[in-house]
Amino acid sequence: MEILIVDNPSKLANYAATFIAARVNQAERLVLGLATGSTPVNTYRELSALYRSGKLDFSKVVSINLDEYVGLSAEDKQSYRQFMNENLFNHVNINLANTHIFNGKAEDFAQECARYDSLIVEKGGIDLQLLGIGMNGHIGFNEPDDYFSMTSHVVDLSTETILSNAPYFESVDQMPKQALTMGIGQIFKAKTILLLATGESKSAVITSALLGPVTPRCPASILQLHQDVTILLDCEAARGILGAKGVYYKEIH
């Protein structure tokens, strides 16, 4: 695990975009696992800027998103499909047919999860997975649980997640209480993982995920066992690990 600490969120977005762009440009074809939420928004902006300046080509990228809300159609403005279109896909030369997100309006969610599982296998697995982290340690929408989930599934969102994400909806009642998510096993199988966290509010969860026990009670803690994971933090999110014994990190100024 490589832990990198940068001064502020804007440097983090810049570093993350450069990291992703290098992988995209090097590969003949790249399967990119994408995340939503507030953390990667600036990274997507930087990726769009790299594309506009001719330094990045998305034509060979296949994207697979981590999750989607149950009950929201691709056209719903709160759906993660719309989030991805608005924050990244509409600004770069990715072929929309190569972008994949769960169908939150599927008639049969078991079938939709099976379709997603097959899709990931058919595309050859995820080369680079971008992750945020929830306040409760979730990755994708894998909430704290008694076990690590292996494959795609429907999840009941935790109260903590509902409270964190409700501000994006007109009211808490309008926020879906369930989501479809890739499993921890599928995220873990990504060849390379880049996890981003910013702000003091993430400091406690970053400390437990990186320094605490590997446990499904803090789903991101599984990343301690991954062989190619980069954790990119701003100073605030890194506050709890700065100076801690036995942690190796690099500060980038």
Catalytic residues: 67, 136, 138, 143
The binder of ligand PGA chosen from 18, 38, 78, 178 (CB under 6 A): 38
The binder of ligand PGA chosen from 33, 104, 134, 183 (CB under 6 A): 134
Q: Quick count: other Cβ atoms within 10 Å of Cβ 183?
A: 21
Residue 9 touches ligand PGA, criterion: CB under 6 A = no
Residue 33 touches ligand PGA, criterion: CB under 6 A = no
Q: In the bound complex, what is the minimum distance in angstroms from residue 168's beta carbon to ligand PGA?
A: 9
Q: Which is nearer to ligand PGA, 45 or 60 (CB)?
A: 45
The binder of ligand PGA chosen from 14, 39, 221, 230 (CB under 6 A): 39
208 close to 137: Cβ distance less than 8 angstroms = yes
Q: What distance, in Å, lies between the first and last C-alpha atoms of the chain?
A: 20
> How many chain residues touch ligand PGA (CB under 6 A)?
6
Residue 37 touches ligand PGA, criterion: CB under 6 A = yes
Q: In the bound complex, what is the minimum distance in angstroms from residue 37's beta carbon to ligand PGA?
A: 3
Q: In the bound complex, what is the minimum distance in angstroms from residue 67's beta carbon to ligand PGA?
A: 9
**Residue whose C-alpha is closest to residue 12's, from 46, 36, 37, 35:** 46
Q: Which is nearer to ligand PGA, 87 or 98 (CB)?
A: 87
DSSP labels, 192-232: EEEEEE-SGGGHHHHHHHHHS--BTTBGGGGGGG-SSEEEE
Residue 137 touches ligand PGA, criterion: CB under 6 A = no
Dmax over CA atoms of the chain, in Å, equals: 51
| Alpha helices, DSSP H, located in the chain | 9-26, 41-52, 80-87, 109-122, 159-165, 184-188, 203-211
Residue 133 touches ligand PGA, criterion: CB under 6 A = yes
**Residue whose C-alpha is closest to residue 143's, from 102, 86, 183, 100:** 183
Binding site for ligand PGA (CB under 6 A): 37-39, 132-134
